[in-house]
């Protein structure tokens, strides 16, 4: 297993964030870091935004980086009261259905952020709206921005803590989301020419029974792939997700979900698919013979 990420393999990292949502690196900084980490194919998948893609493409061309950029997005959906993230890969970012849809999601984000700020205000935390918006700096405003604001205001010591105290489901600042449905997300991804990937299936706190229900529903809606490999993951979790991918006939994807430099998560780190799971990238790299 030692040679999974050797010098000769192309490393695919198909899930990452920039300052266009709650990532801390600019699109330019992100593509350089991906190259330094020997990533050969990178997807930028900001929360409900494709705003980083043109700047990233321009920087790759300007600097002559040997890096393939996959246009991506991470769409927030709601299913059975759970927030489920669907990644779209290789989408046409200018497709009218996609741009219209992302405008709606942005509006939903703004509305939710206002309600979160109102709730925090009532809990004697003033200034959260201005604070989170300033941190988002024109990009998609997320709970990640509220978390940073609260930590910087001294309300909690770290991000995990602040979610537990204020932002997780049922806590003071939690507002049930009005996101689109899974089938709407898959539909807009397909219409804009992309593949729909169920993001980080292990991170929804679902029992095995509910996770299988989610996988069955996602497959029934025409979903193409599921994330199987992430860098922070127990070996048995990857094996389990690979088993599900085979059972449900889904392709596999892999991604760091990189948000910022930190000791635990890095672009391209430990990303490989177990045997018997086909990478979602095969669908866009193999010549199509059925034309
Ligand atoms: P939103 O899409 O606005 O609900 O924000 C979700 C984002 O908040 C995620 O993409 C993560 O970046 C961040 N997040 C969610 N839960 C946690 C947590 N427990 N600790 C740290 N960050 C979190
Ligand atoms: Mn995030
Ligand atoms: Mn996510
Ligand atoms: Mn993500």
pLDDT of residue 4 exceeding 60, the answer is no
Q: What is the pLDDT of residues 132-146, one digit of tens each?
A: 999 999 999 999 999
Q: Is 45 in the pocket of ligand 1 (CB under 6 A)?
A: no
- Give the residue from 229, 234, 228 showing the smallest Cα distance to 215: 228
Task: Please name the residues in contact with 5: beta carbons below 8 A apart, sequence gap of 6 or more.
Answer: 11, 38, 268, 269, 270, 271, 272
Residue with the nearest Cα to atom 2 of ligand 1? 142
CA of 8 to the centre of ligand 2 (A): 31
| Atom number of ligand 1 nearest to Cα 47 | 2
Q: Is the CB of 47 under 6 A from ligand 1?
A: yes
Which ligand 1 atom lies nearest to the CA of residue 76? 2
Q: How does pLDDT run across 28-60, given as a tens digit for each residue?
A: 999 999 999 999 999 999 999 999 999 999 999
Whole-prediction pTM value?
A: 0.95
Q: Please state at what angle helix 208-220 crosses helix 235-248, rounded to 10 degrees.
A: 40
What is the mean pLDDT of the segment spanning 163-184?
95
Nearest residue (by CA) to ligand 1, atom 3, is 142
Cβ-based burial of 132 (10 A; exposed 0-12, middle 13-18, buried ≥19) = buried
Query: In this structure, which residue's CA is closest to atom 7 in ligand 1?
Result: 144
* Domains assigned to the chain: 11-94+182-285 (3.20.20.140), 103-167 (1.10.150.650)
Instruction: Please state the φ and ψ torsions of residue 41, each to the nearest 5 degrees.
Output: -135, 120
CA quadruple 138, 142, 146, 147: dihedral sign: negative
* Residue 42 · residue 70 · CB < 8 Å: yes
């Amino acid at each position: 297993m030692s040679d999974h990420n050797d010098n000769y393999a192309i490393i695919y990292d198909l899930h990452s964030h920039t300052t266009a949502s709650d990532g801390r690196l600019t699109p330019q900084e992100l593509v350089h870091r991906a190259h330094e980490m020997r990533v050969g194919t990178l997807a930028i998948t900001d929360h409900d935004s494709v705003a980083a893609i043109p700047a990233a493409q321009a920087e790759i061309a300007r600097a002559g980086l040997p890096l393939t950029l996959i246009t991506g997005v991470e769409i927030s959906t709601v299913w059975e009261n759970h927030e489920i993230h669907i990644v779209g890969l290789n989408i046409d970012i200018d497709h009218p259905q996609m741009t219209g849809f992302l405008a709606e999601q942005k509006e939903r984000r703004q509305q939710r952020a206002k309600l979160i700020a109102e709730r925090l205000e009532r809990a004697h935390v003033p200034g959260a709206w201005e604070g989170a918006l300033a941190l988002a700096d024109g990009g998609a405003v997320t709970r990640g921005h509220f978390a940073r604001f609260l930590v910087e205001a001294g309300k909690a010591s770290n991000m995990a803590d602040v979610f537990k105290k204020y932002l997780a489901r049922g806590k003071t600042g939690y507002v049930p989301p009005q996101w689109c449905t899974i089938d709407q997300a898959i539909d807009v991804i397909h219409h804009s020419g992309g593949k729909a990937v169920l993001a980080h299936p292990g991170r929804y706190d679902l029992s095995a029974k509910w996770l299988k229900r989610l996988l069955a529903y996602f497959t029934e809606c025409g979903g193409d792939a599921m994330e199987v490999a992430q860098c922070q993951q127990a070996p048995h979790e990857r094996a389990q997700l690979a088993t599900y991918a085979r059972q449900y006939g889904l392709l596999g994807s892999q991604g760091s979900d990189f948000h910022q430099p930190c000791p635990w998560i890095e672009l391209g780190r430990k990303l490989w698919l177990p045997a018997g799971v086909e990478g979602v990238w095969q669908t866009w790299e193999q010549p199509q013979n059925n034309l």
